[in-house]
Amino acid sequence: MAEAYIVEAVRTASGRRKGALSGLHPADMGGMILDALVARSGIDPAAIEDVIVGCVSQAGEQAFAFGRNLVLASGLPQTVPAVTIDRQCGSSQQALHFAAQAILSGMQDVVIAAGAESMTRVPMGSNYTLHAQAGIGEGPWSSKILDRFGVTGFSQFHGAQAIATKYGFSREGMDGYALESHRRAAAAIAAGAFRDEIVPIETADGRFDQDEGVRFDASAEGLAGLKTLAEGGSITAGNASQIADGASGTLMVSEAALKRFDLTPLARIVNLTVTAGDPVIMLEEPIMATRKALRRAGLTLDDIDLFEVNEAFASVPMAWLKALGADPAKLNVNGGAIALGHPLGASGTKLMATLVHALKARGGRYGLQTMCEGGGIANVTIIERL
């Protein structure tokens, strides 16, 4: 049976909005990740058969064959093709799935899955809000779609609040989860846990190699003082993921490529799952996707050593834990997007870089990653550390 392997998994440190990475064109930022994957693996760059790039806001500097522009901004030869995909927050996780599927099919042997997003330079939603401001079109959802679901639009903020209400999460409970995310991230930085996964970036202000959004002095009192995003709600900027700039990537190969290029695998792909459900509550789908992935893999939650569940909002991983009865000690052990940032299209392979290296550091075997995505979709990836 064919196998697909991860041989390198890296990311930039996450930059805050208008922070350390804001001066970089997103194609250049992503190109640095491609160069790092080649340099760290030692592979012949001409052997790369495709580059699959996740990006959510494909407008402005992230438009016009953005994936291809990462290649052109890198040291890879111009003979290396690329493509850009959008599965919302799971875009680069889906890029990893497509790369693995190409290898598992036997059609390709060396593929990069990556993601890049500058939320500073290409603001979230600008690929459709600018059209609306210019009076062009009626927006992403036709009246037929809106009538079908009885809504005037779809909102991740509404979904996050709906999950909190459905599962009975209080503002205090979600703030407590957020505080733990910052504490875990701060501890991980202090312990050097991210050292092997972060690619240092030289900026106009110097070397950037530490996630910028972590609040080392985070407190329950500080989080409690933040305003809710909606009147009467419980979601705040403090218990939601941080807007961030960043890029990430994985180098995926077949068994034949392992031998040909004398590569050492970090992990083996065990399962690739994607499911879809309610587009209104939207962010609950990782629960259903996880159940399906474990069933298809013949594994249980107890078999999994570490979980990465994207912290789009605190209510998402909290609901995942409650619905599945998973061990919170195994979840986002080095903190999550609430502390470390969520650079949209880059977050999928960003979480994979963290998962792979955390499994190695802790001597774990299996890791599971899942991501809630716009439209009520969720990806799940299960890997085995080697």
Active site residues: 89, 342, 372
- Label residue 222 exposed, middle or buried (CB < 10 Å: 0-12, 13-18, 19+): middle
Rounded alpha-carbon distances, angstroms, from residue 164 to 169, 207, 370: 5, 39, 19
Q: How many CA atoms lie within 13 A of 113 on its CB side?
A: 34
Distance CA 249, CA 112 (A): 7
Burial 310-343 (b: 16+ CB within 10 A, else e): bbbbbbbbbbbbeebebeeebbbbbbbbbbbbbb
Q: 366-373 and 306-309 as β-strands: parallel, antiparallel, unpaired?
A: parallel
Query: Tokens for 113?
Result: 């899955």
Q: For residues 280 and 195, what is the distance between their CA atoms, to the nearest angstrom?
A: 39
Q: What are phi and psi of 181, to 5 degrees?
A: -60, -45
Helix (H, G, I), strand (E, B) or coil at 307: strand
* Cα 171 to Cα 169: distance, rounded to the nearest angstrom: 7
Instruction: Tell me the Cα Rg of the chain.
Output: 20
Cβ partners under 8 Å of residue 213, min gap 6: 14, 16, 242, 244, 339, 340, 341
Coil, strand, or helix at residue 286? helix
Cβ atoms 40, 8 nearer than 8 A:
yes
- Alpha-carbon distances of 277 from 100, 105, 169, 189, 374, rounded to whole Å: 24, 28, 22, 36, 11
57 burial (CB, 10 Å; 0-12 / 13-18 / 19+) is buried
Other Cβ atoms less than 10 A from the Cβ of 345: the count is: 38
Q: Pick from 259, 253, 222, 256: which is nearest to 239 by CA?
A: 222
